[in-house]
Every structure is written in C-alpha cells, then in structure tokens.
C-alpha cells in the first residue's frame, strides 16, 4: 500500500482502477514484417474498429450538440474508407514490407501535404481531418483505445495535467475521479471536476509505471491517493463512501423546493455549464436556470471558427431544454489560460491581463457578430441573457450595445424572429467595481466573476500553484467590493449574481444573502446543498 498526498479541489471518495492519460508523442516506429497477408488483415481489423469508434462518436455528438456538430464524424468515416487512402497504405505495407502503423503515418503525411498545397479552402481543411483519422487508426493498431474511446468501466483518471480542450472531450460518465501532478485549484480541470461532482486531487507526485492499472482510493476529503490499499483500508473507505452517498440522498429532499429564507427572501439558484453535456446534471440537481454558459468551449472543441449555424444549434438546444428558465450565455472568453490555435494570438508576457475576452470580440467584430446573431436567433426558443466578460469601461458597454442593436436590426430586416434578451456584464476587474454605479445604468444585470476579481485585486495569478497559500477569496477587499457592486446595482434596479467559485462557498452564503445578492450560479452539484443552507436561514 502506498499513500500519496495532494491538494483537494473537490471532496469525496472514489474507489477504482487508475487509468493513466498520456499525451500522444506522434512517434511511429518502423519495422520490417515477413507475413504481409497477416499485416493486411491486422489493418483491416483496425479499420473496422476505428469506423465503429467514429460511428459511436457521431451518435454521441448528435445527442449532445446536434447534427451540424456531429457531421464531422460522418466525414471522417467517409475519408477512412477512401480508396486512394487505403490503396496507399496497402501498397506501402506490401511494397516495403513494413508495419501498418508506419504505412498509415507515411500516407497521412503525404495526403496532408497534398491537401495543404491546394488553393481551395475546403480541401485545405481536409489536411487536419486526414491527420485526425490516421492518428486514431494508429492508436487502434498500437492496441490503444483510439481517441475519445471510453474505458469499459469507470476509472480514476491520472495525468500530468489536462488542457481545457482535452477535458471537454472526455467521457464524463466513465470517470470516477481526477488525479493530476500539476494544475491549480482554479484550473479548468478543477472546475470540470466540480461540475461533474467527482473527487479531484492536484499536486500528486505519482509514479506512472506503478500507478497505471492499479487499484486505488482517492480521498478527496483528506487529500490522499492510496495505491494498492490493503483489505482493512479498502473496507474502511467503502463504509465512508456509503455514508457520503447517504448524505447526498438526504439532499435530494431539497429538490422541488423554493429557495426562500425563513424571512421570505427569495434567492435564484442557477448553474454554470460548459456545454450541452452538462444539461442532465443541471436538470437532475433542480437548477432554476443557467447563470453561466461558457461559450468558449464551442471554440475550444473546433479546428476552426464555429459557424453561426453550429452555435445556433447548441444555444437553441440549451434554451429549449431549460423550458423557459433563464439561460445566461457568456460571450467568447478566450486568452490567458484558454488558448485556441486558429485565433493566432501572439504570445504575451502577461496574458491574464492581455488580449482576451471582450477585447478580442471588439477588435474582431466579425467573430463577435456571428456569435450575437446565433444568440439572438436562439432567443426565439427560450429565455436568454447575454453576458459580456472583462469589462473595464462604460464606453466598452456602449460599443457592445451598438453592435448588438445592429445585429438585432439585421435579423429583423431578414424576417428572423428573436425574443426579449437581457444584457449584462461580468464584474471581474477592480475597474468595473469602481464604476459599477455607472455600469448599472447601461445593463439589466451584473454577474460577479469572483475567480478573476480575486486574481486582479490581490495581484495573484490563480494558475500559479506556488501562490495557492496566499490566494484568499475571503479577503476583506473582495467582500467589500461585492457589497459595493450590490449597492450600486440596486440603486438602478439592476439585479446581481455571483458566478465565480465563491458562490458555492457555504461559509459565505449567509453573508451574500445579507449583502443583497439576488442570484448564485454554481456547479450543478452545489445547487441542493446551497438550497438547504438558504432555506434554513432567517
């Protein structure tokens, strides 16, 4: 038995086998073969399995993001069966007497170069597709799972770290817990773990060879990873896990109840989500709306800018699923720790304070208008609020409103139906706090992003693990800022919510209610504990 320590980012207990998540190196070994028919048969088997994976991914994407988002997997299936592609692989295996993996890699390189050299943009884009299907095929030939394939049983996922784009592709139903060597308590892996309601540890210095496939316990309460536990330890944790599940069962009694204090104060409890895959958890936990839809994940999942139609399909799906409940969608918020290659953002010395979020949208209005058109079109199918991040001036808000109004006018001129939309801004910079009295005159609501507000106010990079010990969201300056924002907003009948991680901090719930906060938006699993706390308040 080996016990390792780490830092908890979400409490709870998980028991299961560890699966090591390794980043692909892209290196394919070349070796000679003597039995060509057997190698060709191995390739044929791998092709069938890869095609099955792509079909499964198509069905999964169809249910989560709609037909337009799933079409790419149909394209990949057709490319996998392309006769020129298959002939090239077969000829290299037979002519050079080499392994199938190497033949696929050479073919992929050749075809990608050919597509990249074409002038037609459609065919240029196929270069990335051919690389994608070839990497999947190589992974299957190597005996791996293939990209995005789920384990046959739920696992504890161990990794050095996970990028935002990797986390959104994981099969969440097959993950018992996260354990990473690096990352911080405010990283996207940590936020995902909280959204999924599963235990997660960071800063665990595990040995990869000893860890992969081992039976283990993740103790997200005490911050421990126990590898190969003995019988007594295993039984103790099974009992603890049952007790935790019983507590969760009791919380279900809160479902369906109105979130009102004993004195009659009503608080709106909304959920934070990253995509349609989070909707089941939102509905299961009885959220009263969605207070933060992180739309940037639509961009992180793509190899190119998502089209208006692709975005519209996703937004429409969410608002329809919420059946009239308010859905607040944050406009594109990339930069800092969320980098997207096709945006071609220059490297910055201090990206957290650099070219990001609304600054990119106002600088590249064609991207911004595409998203706004999709949002306004979706508003005809439900109740939408649009929220703009990283605001520092009234001028920015006026410019945003001008662009939004031009988009609305354009849609109406085209005869496209749109609904009533609330406009709001995120309060996540000290500047926005200081001018909140003026900002409140321009918008319908504020949402306080406590993660960035804490970072900027305390001058602490929230991705820097070395500073975790002094990253203090309870700092008096933060709480005073929140109170200032609430007071300024209410003077102008502007309502105020909190969508940062601090909203789920039960030790501050009563403080926020007394301050006058109107809404709390948190990961779905925090809805019921928060409701119980608020209902028991005076």
Enzyme catalytic residues? 188, 499
The span from the CA of 402 to the CA of 73, in Å, is 39
Could you tell me the end-to-end alpha-carbon distance of the chain, in angstroms, rounded to an integer? Answer: 48
Residue with tokens 């996207």: 188
> Residue 436 — φ and ψ, nearest 5°?
-60, -30
> Residue 144 — φ and ψ, nearest 5°?
-85, -175
DSSP 3-state of 326: strand
Task: Please return the burial class of 475, using the count of CB atoms within 10 Å of its CB with bins 0-12, 13-18 and 19+.
Answer: middle
Determine how β-strand 200-202 pairs with β-strand 7-10: antiparallel
Query: Which string of DSSP letters, residue by residue, matches 50-76?
Result: HHHHHHHHHHHHHHHH-HHHHHHHHHH
> Residue 21 — φ and ψ, nearest 5°?
-95, 115
Residue with tokens 């609304």: 358
> Residue 444 — φ and ψ, nearest 5°?
-85, -30
> CA dist 127 to 78, 123, 130, Å?
14, 7, 5
């Amino acid at each position: 038995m080996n016990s390792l320590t780490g830092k908890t980012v979400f409490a709870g207990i998980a028991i299961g086998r560890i699966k090591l998540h390794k980043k692909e190196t892209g290196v394919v070994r070349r070796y000679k073969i003597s039995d060509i028919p057997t190698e060709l048969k191995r390739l044929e088997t791998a092709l069938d399995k890869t095609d099955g994976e792509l079909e499964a991914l198509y069905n999964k994407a169809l249910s989560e993001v709609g037909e337009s988002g799933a079409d790419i997997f149909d394209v990949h299936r057709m490319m996998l069966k392309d006769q020129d592609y298959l002939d090239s692989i077969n000829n290299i295996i037979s002519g050079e007497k080499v392994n199938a993996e190497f033949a696929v890699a050479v073919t992929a390189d050749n075809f990608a170069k050919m597509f990249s050299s074409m002038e037609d943009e459609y065919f240029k884009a196929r270069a990335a597709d051919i690389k994608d299907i070839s990497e999947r095929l190589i992974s299957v030939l190597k005996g791996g799972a293939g990209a995005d394939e789920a384990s046959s049983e739920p696992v504890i996922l161990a990794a050095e770290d996970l990028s935002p784009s990797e986390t959104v592709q994981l099969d969440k139903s097959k993950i018992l817990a996260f354990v990473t060597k690096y990352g911080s308590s405010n990283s996207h892996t940590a936020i995902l773990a909280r959204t999924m309601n599963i235990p997660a540890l960071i800063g665990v210095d595990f040995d990869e060879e000893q860890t992969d496939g081992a039976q283990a316990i993740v103790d997200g309460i005490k911050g421990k990873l126990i590898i190969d536990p003995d019988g007594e330890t295993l039984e103790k944790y099974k009992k603890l896990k049952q007790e935790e599940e019983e507590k969760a069962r009791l919380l279900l009694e809160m479902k369906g109840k109105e979130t009102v204090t004993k004195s009659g104060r009503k608080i709106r409890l909304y959920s934070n989500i990253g995509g349609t895959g989070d909707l089941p958890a939102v509905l299961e936990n009885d959220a009263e709306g969605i207070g933060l839809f992180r739309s940037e994940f639509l961009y992180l999942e793509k190899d190119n800018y998502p089209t208006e139609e692709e975005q519209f399909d996703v937004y429409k799906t969410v608002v329809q699923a919420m059946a009239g409940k308010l859905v607040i969608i944050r406009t594109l918020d990339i930069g800092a720790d969320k980098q997207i290659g096709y945006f071609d953002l220059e490297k910055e010395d201090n990206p957290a304070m650099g070219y990001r979020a609304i600054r990119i949208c106002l600088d590249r209005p064609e991207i911004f208008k595409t998203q706004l058109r999709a949002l306004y079109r979706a508003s005809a199918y439900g109740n939408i609020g649009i929220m703009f991040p990283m605001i520092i001036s009234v001028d920015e808000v006026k410019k945003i409103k001008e662009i939004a109004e031009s988009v609305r006018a354009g849609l109406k001129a085209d005869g496209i139906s749109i609904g009533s939309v609330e406009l709001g801004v995120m309060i996540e910079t000290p500047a926005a706090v200081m001018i909140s009295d003026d900002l409140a005159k321009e918008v319908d609501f504020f949402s306080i992003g406590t993660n960035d507000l804490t970072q900027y106010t305390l001058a602490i990079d929230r991705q820097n693990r070395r500073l975790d010990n002094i990253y203090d969201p309870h700092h008096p300056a933060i709480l005073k800022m929140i109170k200032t924002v609430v007071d300024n907003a209410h003077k102008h009948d502007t309502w105020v919510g909190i969508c940062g991680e601090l909203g789920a901090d039960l030790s501050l719930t009563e403080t926020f209610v007394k301050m006058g906060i109107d809404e709390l938006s948190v990961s779905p699993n925090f809805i019921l504990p928060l409701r119980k706390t608020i209902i028991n308040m005076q």
